[in-house]
Chains A and B, each alone.
Chain A
């Protein structure tokens, strides 16, 4: 039982490049989330998916798109990366009960 896994762990992009962050969970959770973490600002919700086939915007969705590929996988795409998107990105999943489980994070730098 690996919990929540994320790939890649680190990534450096140039402004304007695109990339997809991958997330998968093996806990059979219905809900999945993407957060970004910036110094002094805590965790901010980008997008979430309450169940397979649905996605909704969070606090800071601009510049991002998501895909809930199946129950296990929830990807985050940056179509045209900007330096303001330099951050640590966390994927999380949850089910009714003990709250959210977070992945180890992806550290993204946009030059």
Chain B
């Protein structure tokens, strides 16, 4: 069945360093790849997304890259801050409004 893998499961970085989270997906029909940030006790919040016709997208300190041939996509956070500490989920879907399969999540800790 459809599957999204995510690595690492936990990540600890020093404030100011970069963090990278990697995902792979199994369904070659996937065309939409959102990333979510979940803070403790809250619901996931969309932080950035990328579609299959784009290889890279940036939004301030956050960037996503997509390699559709290899079925890989990654989240890059630069100049990390303590408020970036959260659980991050990658996901894959055929469209932005179709059912989505989530990765298991990465717990990011940014150490001041």
Q: Taking beta carbons and an 8 Å cutoff, which residues of A are in contact with B?
A: 4, 30-31, 33, 35, 40-45, 48, 50, 56, 58-59, 90, 92, 94-105
CB distance from B42 to the nearest CB of A (A): 6
A50 and B99 alpha carbons, distance in the complex (Å): 9
> Within B30-74, which residues are at the interface with A (CB < 8 Å)?
32, 34, 36, 42-46, 49
* Contact of A98 with B46 at beta-carbon distance under 8 Å, contacts A30-B97, A45-B99 already known: yes
**Chain A residue with minimal CB distance to B34?**
A99
**Chain A residue with minimal CB distance to B4?**
A42
Note all chain B residues with C-beta closer than 8 A to A95.
97
Chain B interface: which size bin? 20 to 34
* Contact of A42 with B42 at beta-carbon distance under 8 Å, contacts A94-B96, A96-B95, A100-B100 already known: no
Note all chain B residues with C-beta closer than 8 A to A50.
97
**Chain B residue with minimal CB distance to A41?**
B104
Could you tell me if B104 and A100 are in contact, using CB atoms closer than 8 angstroms? no
Q: Taking beta carbons and an 8 Å cutoff, which residues of B are in contact with A?
A: 6, 9, 32, 34, 36, 42-46, 49, 89, 95-97, 99-105
A56 and B99 alpha carbons, distance in the complex (Å): 10
CB distance from A65 to the nearest CB of B (A): 18
Note all chain A residues with C-beta closer than 8 A to B95.
96
Note all chain A residues with C-beta closer than 8 A to B99.
33, 45, 48, 56, 58
Note all chain B residues with C-beta closer than 8 A to A41.
104
A107 and B9 alpha carbons, distance in the complex (Å): 23
CB distance from A92 to the nearest CB of B (A): 8
* Contact of A42 with B102 at beta-carbon distance under 8 Å, contacts A90-B43, A90-B44, A99-B46 already known: yes
* Contact of A94 with B43 at beta-carbon distance under 8 Å, contacts A41-B104, A42-B89 already known: no
Partner of B96, one of A56, A90, A96, A102: A96
Partner of B103, one of A30, A42, A56, A94: A42
CB distance from B43 to the nearest CB of A (A): 4
A105 and B46 alpha carbons, distance in the complex (Å): 15
CB distance from B37 to the nearest CB of A (A): 11
Could you tell me if A42 and B105 are in contact, using CB atoms closer than 8 angstroms? yes
